[in-house]
Amino acid sequence: MKRALSLSITGVLCALALAPLAVHAVDYPLPPPGSRLIGHNQRYIMPDNGKNLEYVADKFGTGILLLLEANNKVDPLLPKAGSEITIPSQMLLPDTPREGIVINLAELRLYYYPPGQNKVEVYPIGIGQLGRETPEMVTRISQKIPNPSWTPTANIRARSEAQGIKLPAVVPAGPNNPLGRYALRLEKGGGEYLIHGTNVRRSVGQRVSSGCIRLRSEDIKALFSKAAWGTRVQIINQPVKYSVELDGRRYVEVHQPLSTNDWDNPQTAPIAISASFGRFIDDGRSDRGAVDNAMTRRAGYPVEVSGTASPAPSKAPIQSAHNAPETRSEGLLSGVQ
């Protein structure tokens, strides 16, 4: 299960040392109107350094669950030296307005469209776990707070006490604050939902929060400096994205859906097919078999499903340990975390 996998990975990785890396969200030029395909997948040869997939996710500015989707036959804790890792850095933009912040829960990514700039910044995120889900909404940033303190909600306090953990009334700003150094409050939901940093770096890219959206420290710092008060924020949950590109090629990007109960298996759980996606599948220019394969594999990156032959896209170069892709670089809060 996507949730169970997140929790088990978190438990094991807690025991593994992971040095902070200077990786930031990846910038992509915006495609022209009518196109949604950005970036390209990369290949990384695992060095003989004893590192795990969490290290690779951090190095390339992606999330651990995205890497696991793309590399479903690789040991996440001890990838074999010399094994080829697919970095899922090609994606389809969500079918939403290219404005402000767009968060797709199913892919654990945040898209930020800087106003007046022909680019999109893509960040890996952590989201709400089962039973404490991050809700879908269209809202805006209502408050920007540096060096936030954290006041646990009554529900969080009760859950912690049930586990034998007594939380303080207020956690002051500092290295032990679970909100990190920056927080963006969302207007909807009474202001209880935040986009914030974290003091548990490995939680980014997983379902572990109490409903808020977590970013790595350098990412929330960058987003905080750019996203203005009043910025539009749209949160969606779309495990399937699809596109007909300007050259006629057709693509499907399928992510494992979020678990809705403890026994869900996101690799086999059914995914609802919208009317528009049904028309895309039934169109004679789509290869239905290729679509079915993409829906079954759920690799988390775009797969071409064109029904007619077309030139193969060029492959990205292999990335070595020293050849990573270029990347960019006091308030009191009460809310879910």
| DSSP state for residue 106 in the 8-state scheme | G
- Angular region, 192: left φ>0, alpha ψ -120 to 50, beta rest: alpha
Q: Does residue 255 carry a catalytic annotation?
A: no
**CA-to-CA dists, residue 31 to 113, 140, 264, angstroms:** 12, 25, 36
The DSSP element (H or E) to which 296 belongs, if any, is: helix 288-297
In Å, how far from its chain's centre is CA 194?
16
Q: Please name every residue paired with 91 in a beta bridge, in sequence order, or none if there are none.
A: 38
Instruction: Tally helices (H) and strands (E) across the chain.
Output: 7, 21
Q: Please name every residue paired with 139 in a beta bridge, in sequence order, or none if there are none.
A: 233
Our CA angle for 128, 104, 183, nearest 5°, is: 55
Do residues 203 and 214 lie in contact, with contact meaning Cβ atoms separated by under 8 Å? yes
Q: Does residue 40 carry a catalytic annotation?
A: no
Select which of 14, 212, 255, 322 is catalytic.
212
- Angular region, 135: left φ>0, alpha ψ -120 to 50, beta rest: beta
**Measured between alpha carbons, how far is 318 from 150 in angstroms, rounded to an integer?**
43
DSSP string, 26-46: EEEEPPPTT--EEE--EEEEP
Select which of 40, 196, 255, 322 is catalytic.
196
**Measured between alpha carbons, how far is 76 from 63 in angstroms, rounded to an integer?**
12
**Measured between alpha carbons, how far is 55 from 309 in angstroms, rounded to an integer?**
38
**Measured between alpha carbons, how far is 156 from 211 in angstroms, rounded to an integer?**
11
Active site residues: 196, 212
